[in-house]
């Protein structure tokens, strides 16, 4: 059992918290109540960033002390919103939210994952008609192994998890979010994931 803090109690955070609790982990969800995120992060072994990506950097830098020596799993994408509320442009072109977090939090082990799919797929990958991919980006091999095990707890087959390498590779997966509005306008809000055909 791992102690996990989920920052963000929207659809993404709530979905992950429910699934990780079901898998036997001790999970705390931090809402926007003042001090809730700090309290949750302070006592957790792993912190999951499920807050809106546009404000994630400021929120997490404010938790520098609480995040020291922790694994920070970043599942957010930092984008501006179009008029329909769907992602329009990247906030960090030529970089990524994950890279910005790792640079700002050097004593925290940042791992990017689960950001190339609609949120229901994060915890039910086998529900799709073909195998999806979950990608890992991060500098610390041990942290990535820990996150890989969490993904397996969430129903991801080990062959569906691809380690892309260092944190810089997150800029590629974060850019994949720009597919999402076009796919949704074309086919509606149905669960899907970016996957690599092999």
pLDDT digits (tens, 9 = 90+) for 121-165: 999 999 999 999 999 999 999 999 999 999 999 999 999 999 999
Q: Are 126 and 154 in contact (CB under 8 A)?
A: no
* Ramachandran category for residue 165: left, alpha or beta (phi over 0 → left; psi -120 to 50 → alpha): left
DSSP-based three-state secondary structure for 84: coil
75 membership: H or E segment, kind and range: none
Residue 177: which of 194, 197, 164, 162 has the closest Cα?
194
pLDDT level of residue 116 (50, 70, 90 thresholds): very high
Model confidence, pTM: 0.96
How does residue 178 score in pLDDT terms, banded at 50, 70 and 90?
very high
Ramachandran area for residue 33 (φ above 0: left; ψ -120 to 50: alpha; else beta):
beta
Strand-pair partners of 136: 163
Q: What is the pLDDT of residues 72-106, one digit of tens each?
A: 999 999 999 988 888 999 999 999 999 999 999 99
């Amino acid at each position: 059992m791992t102690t996990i803090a989920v920052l963000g109690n929207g659809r993404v955070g709530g979905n992950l918290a429910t699934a990780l609790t079901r898998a036997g982990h001790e999970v705390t969800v931090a809402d926007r109540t003042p001090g809730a995120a700090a309290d949750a992060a302070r006592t957790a072994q792993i912190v999951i960033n499920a807050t809106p990506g546009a404000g994630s950097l400021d929120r997490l830098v404010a938790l520098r002390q609480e995040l020291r020596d922790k694994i920070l799993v970043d599942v957010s994408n930092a984008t501006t919103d179009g008029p329909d509320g769907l992602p329009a442009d990247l906030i960090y072109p030529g970089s990524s939210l994950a890279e910005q977090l790792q640079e700002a939090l050097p004593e925290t082990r940042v791992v990017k994952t689960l950001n190339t799919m609609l949120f229901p797929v994060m915890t039910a990958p086998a529900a799709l008609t073909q195998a999806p991919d979950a990608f890992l980006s991060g500098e610390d091999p041990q942290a990535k192994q820990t996150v890989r095990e969490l993904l397996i707890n969430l129903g991801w087959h080990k062959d569906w998890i691809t380690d892309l390498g260092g944190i810089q590779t997150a800029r590629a997966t974060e850019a994949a979010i720009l597919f999402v509005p076009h796919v949704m306008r074309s086919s509606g809000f149905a669960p899907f994931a970016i996957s690599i055909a092999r």
